[in-house]
Chains A and B, each alone.
Chain A
Amino acid sequence: DQQVKQNSPSLSVQEGRISILNCDYTNSMFDYFLWYKKYPAEGPTFLISISSIKDKNEDGRFTVFLNKSAKHLSLHIVPSQPGDSAVYFCAASEGNFGNEKLTFGTGTRLTIIP
């Protein structure tokens, strides 16, 4: 049973517009959420995270929103740029500090159209 779900395998967005990537989770014990970005032939790189005590975290063009009641988080990229084309993984963790485990979603391939 997948505890972290990214239901959209792919997404295409026009350059300059907003990209919204969605992620749902089922485990109510998850208390920390992350987004990773992966280019072809490279490992995932950490992008942005959010703790369950917050509902929004912003870093430049990237904003992550968390809706705990809906067990849903989303990553907003605005404005979208061609270099944002990549696979984006949502991940979640639970547990005491120093003993967390990451559970990943299946990823969403984002394509930015010039």
Chain B
Amino acid sequence: ETGVTQTPRHLVMGMTNKKSLKCEQHLGHNAMYWYKQSAKKPLELMFVYSLEERVENNSVPSRFSPECPNSSHLFLHLHTLQPEDSALYLCASSQQTGNTEAFFGQGTRLTVV
């Protein structure tokens, strides 16, 4: 248990669906992140939030929409995804935006059909 919880663990969605991934941390951290891990590719940073404000968006398509209502919760809203978006989506948090020792959640395995 790392203190970062992601739900759901697995998600299968059609290309016309709208779904959301949820991340929660109880570590008192100020920064939260979304990462994408595709098969045989490095972990890719998608979004960075610091104190509920988005501080980085790594050229992520608009079909991925993050939301950070407070410093403990982070969402990733998904709509009109493509099959190539199928991947493991990992949430992480750290004390501040220097995410060198980030704590990761277990991830959501997303399959787009």
* Neighbouring B residues of A2 by C-beta, 8 Å: 42
Counting chain B residues whose Cβ lies within 8 A of the other chain, the interface size class is 20 to 34
Known contacts A43-B4, A43-B90, A101-B99: A89-B104 contact under CB 8 Å:
no
Which residues from chain A sit less than 8 Å from chain B, CB to CB? 2, 4, 9, 32, 34, 36, 41-46, 49, 89, 91, 93, 95, 97-107
Q: How far is A49 from B104 in the complex, measured between Cα atoms in Å?
A: 16
Query: Which of A4, A93, A105, A106 has the largest count of B CB atoms less than 10 A from its CB?
Result: A106
Q: Work out how many contacts link A and B, with CB atoms closer than 8 A.
A: 65
Contact A45 B104 (CB under 8 A): yes
Contact A34 B100 (CB under 8 A): yes
Contact A102 B45 (CB under 8 A): yes
Q: Which residue of B41, B42, B99, B107 is within 8 Å of A43 (Cβ)?
A: B107
Known contacts A4-B42, A104-B42: A98-B98 contact under CB 8 Å:
yes
A45 to chain B, nearest CB (A): 6
* Neighbouring B residues of A98 by C-beta, 8 Å: 96-98
* Neighbouring B residues of A46 by C-beta, 8 Å: 101-103
Q: How far is A102 from B56 in the complex, measured between Cα atoms in Å?
A: 13
* Neighbouring B residues of A45 by C-beta, 8 Å: 2, 103-104
